[in-house]
Amino acid sequence: MTEVGSPTMLTKMRAFLHGEKDTALLEAMRQAGRTAYEELLTAERLRAQLAAEGLTVWQATPAVESQFLATWNAYVLQILGEAFLDADYAADPGTVGYVPPVTLGQVSEWFSAVEGWLSRARQARVNPDYDLAAELGLPAALPPWVEVTPCPPEHLAALLAAIPPVREHAEVALHALESGPVPKESRKAVNRLRQMTAEAAAAVDYALGLRTARHDARLHELIENNLKQALELWFAVGQLAAMPRLLDTHYRPAARPDLARLPGGPRFDPWALTDPASLTRWQRDSKAVQAVREMWQFDPDPAATLALKDTIDAALRSGDIAYYQISGGASCYFECPWPALFEVRRPVRIGGVNMKVLQQFTIRVSADDVPKGRPFIRKVVTGPFRTTNEIDYCDPDGRH
């Protein structure tokens, strides 16, 4: 951990010239969030106490499970935030106390979430009737990754630094889950959890094998995606090991897009995100054809984009959402790739956003500002929506 004192005038000038932002608020949040390490020790002592009493996690009360899960989430988020700050400081010692905007945004996402999980861990410690699963949809996903192309080398360094402690504690939690008698009806679920840990380890091993002294943006992207996938898997493993009833009642492994559906694959459909009701119109528009092609070219993680679309498709099939038309018959968003509008029929969580009944939403996927050094946009956009004659082709090259 790099000590951050009051920045000198020279440091401020360097940061200004580099377009970096002050981390004073983040450093205060880092300090406050370090309580997560104390909570983790408390949770580990409680786990040991259960074992001494001849009990396993399978026999823990909902409050104890909730304490384990909330503590785990706070710990992982704190580790990630600190790793990204420290990696940036190490890469650029001349601007310690300042980071690029993309790093500031990512660390803010993580540190902001730590507080809520720490609060819930404390609530579970004092209320024997507390049940986190009755309050939140679990297991929770990591806050969205802030996309940036190309991936800064310090971000890769931060991911690599965060993985060992996250992996170690996830495997400890899984070992505790397996150390006692596993209920017969849950053996398949535990095997699936073990499979997830193997998948995470394989993703990291492959990423490490890809490292080379030569710089290649595509190679960095591939390494980054593998490391992110591993962290997401271990984040889920830690939660499921903390609250094993989720294995049978709440959790279903997320479907990963088939490689054949990704750009370059034999079943890739560049119009996969476009509103079916207006698809023909856009396919006849040469500017739209070019815009969609460029959107996919600039997408740093097409698998994540298709995974978001798959989540929406699953919600459509289950009846949780339905297609929506605004007055006048418009059925799609005004911006490339012109996705459909939806209305929520039952409470649902899509793209990390919890939505209520009758809420309108769509997705925004845009590479418009990527050439300017800004992140690729992939997120849920909520309504209400209104009719417009504007068409945004989201042209990264500025030709249209």
Q: How far is CA 30 from CA 70, 85, 373, in A?
A: 18, 10, 27
Q: Residue 17: is its pLDDT beyond 90?
A: no
Neighbours of 146 (CB within 10 A): 18
Most confidently predicted of 208-217, 266-275, 369-378? 266-275
Which alpha helices (H) appear in the chain, and where do they start and end?
9-18, 24-33, 35-52, 62-91, 101-126, 153-179, 187-210, 217-242, 245-249, 279-283, 286-298, 302-318
Q: Which position has the token pair 């909520």?
A: 382
Q: How far is CA 80 from CA 43, 46, 222, 223, in A?
A: 20, 25, 19, 17
The reported pLDDT for the residue numbered 250 is 46
Residue range 179-184: average pLDDT?
A: 80
DSSP string, 282-316: HHT-HHHHHHHHHHHHH-S-HHHHHHHHHHHHHHH
The reported pLDDT for the residue numbered 151 is 67
Residue with the bigger pLDDT between 245 and 36: it is 36
Residue range 245-270: average pLDDT?
A: 72
The reported pLDDT for the residue numbered 181 is 81
Residue range 185-202: average pLDDT?
A: 88
Q: Residue 330: is its pLDDT beyond 50?
A: yes
Q: Residue 125: is its pLDDT beyond 80?
A: yes
CA-based radius of gyration for the chain: 23
Residue with the bigger pLDDT between 280 and 212: it is 280
The reported pLDDT for the residue numbered 400 is 47
Residue range 284-313: average pLDDT?
A: 90
Share of the chain above pLDDT 90, in %: 37
The reported pLDDT for the residue numbered 6 is 67
Would you place residue 136 in the very low, low, confident or very high pLDDT band (cuts 50, 70, 90)? confident
Would you place residue 2 in the very low, low, confident or very high pLDDT band (cuts 50, 70, 90)? low
Q: How long, in residues, is the chain?
A: 400
> What is the overall mean pLDDT for the chain?
85
Give the separation between CA 58 and CA 183, rounded to whole angstroms.
Answer: 8
The reported pLDDT for the residue numbered 119 is 94
Residue range 207-213: average pLDDT?
A: 77
pTM value > 0.95: no
Q: Residue 299: is its pLDDT beyond 90?
A: no
Residue with the bigger pLDDT between 68 and 226: it is 68
The reported pLDDT for the residue numbered 240 is 92
**Residue-wise pLDDT tens digits, 331-360:** 889 999 999 999 999 888 888 777 888 889
Dihedral in degrees, nearest 10, Cα atoms 193, 224, 289, 350: 40
Would you place residue 312 in the very low, low, confident or very high pLDDT band (cuts 50, 70, 90)? very high
Most confidently predicted of 47-56, 99-108, 245-254, 334-343? 334-343
Q: What is the H or E stretch that residue 364 is in? A: strand 360-366
Q: Residue 134: is its pLDDT beyond 90?
A: no
Give the separation between CA 288 and CA 268, rounded to whole angstroms.
Answer: 17
Residue 160's nearest CA partner among 227, 93, 94, 73 is 227
280 burial level (CB within 10 Å; 0-12, 13-18, 19+): exposed
The reported pLDDT for the residue numbered 257 is 59
